[in-house]
Each structure stands twice: as C-alpha cells, then as structure tokens.
C-alpha cells in the first residue's frame, strides 16, 4: 500500500537546505512506518490549477489497487487569481469529484482532508478561516461516500489550545536575525515549521488509523 498526496504548500515537501518550511506531507511517513508516501502536493496550487497543469494525470500508472489518495485543497481555491480561484459549492466540489473518480477508476481509495486552519487571532480569539470551502468538502464527502479527515477541526483545536503567542511556534514566525535566510524575520500564519508539520501530520495519521484506512 502506498499513500499519494495531492494538495498545496501546506502539505508540500521542501528542501531543508533552502527553507525552514515543512509541509505535513513531508513528515507523514514518520507516523506511518512501513507505508510508502508519495507526496505530489505543490505550492500555489488549487484544485483548478493542479488539474489544469496535468498534475493528477502524472499519477496514472502509479496509483493502483489498494493505494490511498489523500486530497487536501482550499487555501489557493480562495485566491482571487483567475487561474486558481474556484467557488466552494460549484467548481471546487466539481474538481474534487474529479480526484475522487480518478482514484476509484484505478481501484484506489480516495479520502478528502479539510485544510489546515490559518492562524488568525483577533482580541485573543482564534478566528475561523476558509469560509465555506471546508463545509463544501464535508458535504461532498457525504454525497460521494468518501472518507473525510477533518484536519481543519484538529488544527483549529491545536492552535487554539496553544494560544495566540504559543501557536506562533507551529508556523513560519521568525524574529529578525533568527535565521540568515530570513534576515528581516517572517510572520507567516499559513505555512508550518517542522514543529507544526509534525503536529498536523500526527493528526492525519491518527485520523487514518481511526477510520481504518491504514
């Protein structure tokens, strides 16, 4: 059994020589020993651009019987750039259905993952993010009888429990001079350092086990 990941920058595998950024897909294998992980997540991609670039078709001949296809998008579907943007109850779910059908046609098992929350705090309260995209994904999972891993819910709980300051440790928050690659520091509330990637990958692994997918 192999696990294939289709998603965006929050799941992507990065070169540690170039950045401290780590996607959850990059470390998922650490929590699922003995299972092959093929991470095809790519930064900046939405369901629309991932399909338009033929990235799903690259799995043809690789994805097969007994394999698992993890599908997690939303961050870039929300983007207003026309090559990325989708509407949550229209082309977003239509595109997700393409991923689902692709897996099933190859006797693989598709699973939808709601997106990782974005760290947005106001007046000491963690704010909901990703609008209706996560609900559209939940509805589609029921409609198409697809396993749903609600990673948004998990990540929201983890970030909320860590608190406004403590939750910075999960994401790409760096003080000026902390890392020579980011001399002016960084305040990125969407992308994770290894600590955050590990926490969220552990959630994915736990959800996979609880659902009987692995």
184 is catalytic: yes
State the pLDDT confidence band at 40, using cuts at 50, 70 and 90: very high
User: How much of the chain, in percent, has pLDDT values that exceed 70?
Assistant: 100
Active-site pick, 9, 46, 49, 167: 9
Residue 177: per-residue pLDDT: 85
Which residues on neighbouring strands pair with residue 5, listed in sequence order? 39, 70
d(CA 79, CA 31): 31
Domain extent listing, the chain? 2-210
Select from 52, 69, 50, 39 the least CA-distant residue to 149: 69
191 part of the active site: yes
40-44 mean pLDDT: 98
Per annotation, catalytic residue among 46, 130, 191, 198? 191
75 annotated active-site: no
CB 114 within 8 A of CB 93: no
Q: Among 37, 34, 33, 35, which Cα is nearest to 24's?
A: 37
Q: Which residues on adjacent β-strands are paired with residue 148?
A: 112
Q: Which fold has domain 2-210?
A: Rossmann fold (3.40.50)
Q: In the prediction, which pLDDT does 178 show?
A: 85
Q: What is the pLDDT of residues 46-80, one digit of tens each?
A: 999 999 999 999 999 999 999 999 999 999 999 99
């Amino acid at each position: 059994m192999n696990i294939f990941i289709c998603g965006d920058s929050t799941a992507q595998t990065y070169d540690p020589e170039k950045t401290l950024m780590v996607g959850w897909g990059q470390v998922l294998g650490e929590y699922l020993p003995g299972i092959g992980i093929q991470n095809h997540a790519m930064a900046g991609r939405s369901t629309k651009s991932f399909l338009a670039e033929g990235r799903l078709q690259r799995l043809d001949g690789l994805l097969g019987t007994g394999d698992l296809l993890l599908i997690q998008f939303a961050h870039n579907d929300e983007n207003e750039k026309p090559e990325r943007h989708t509407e949550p109850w229209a082309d977003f779910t239509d595109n997700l259905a393409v991923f689902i059908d692709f897996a099933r046609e190859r006797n693989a098992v598709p699973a939808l993952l709601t997106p990782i929350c974005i760290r947005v705090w106001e007046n000491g309260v963690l704010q909901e993010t990703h609008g209706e995209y996560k609900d559209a994904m939940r509805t589609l999972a029921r409609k198409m009888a697809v396993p749903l891993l609600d990673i948004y819910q998990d990540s929201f709980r983890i970030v909320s429990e860590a608190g406004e300051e403590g939750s910075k440790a999960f994401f790409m928050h760096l003080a000026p001079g902390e890392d020579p690659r980011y001399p002016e520091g960084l305040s990125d509330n969407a992308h994770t350092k290894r600590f955050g990637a590990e926490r969220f990958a552990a959630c994915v692994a736990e959800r996979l086990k609880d659902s009987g997918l692995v």
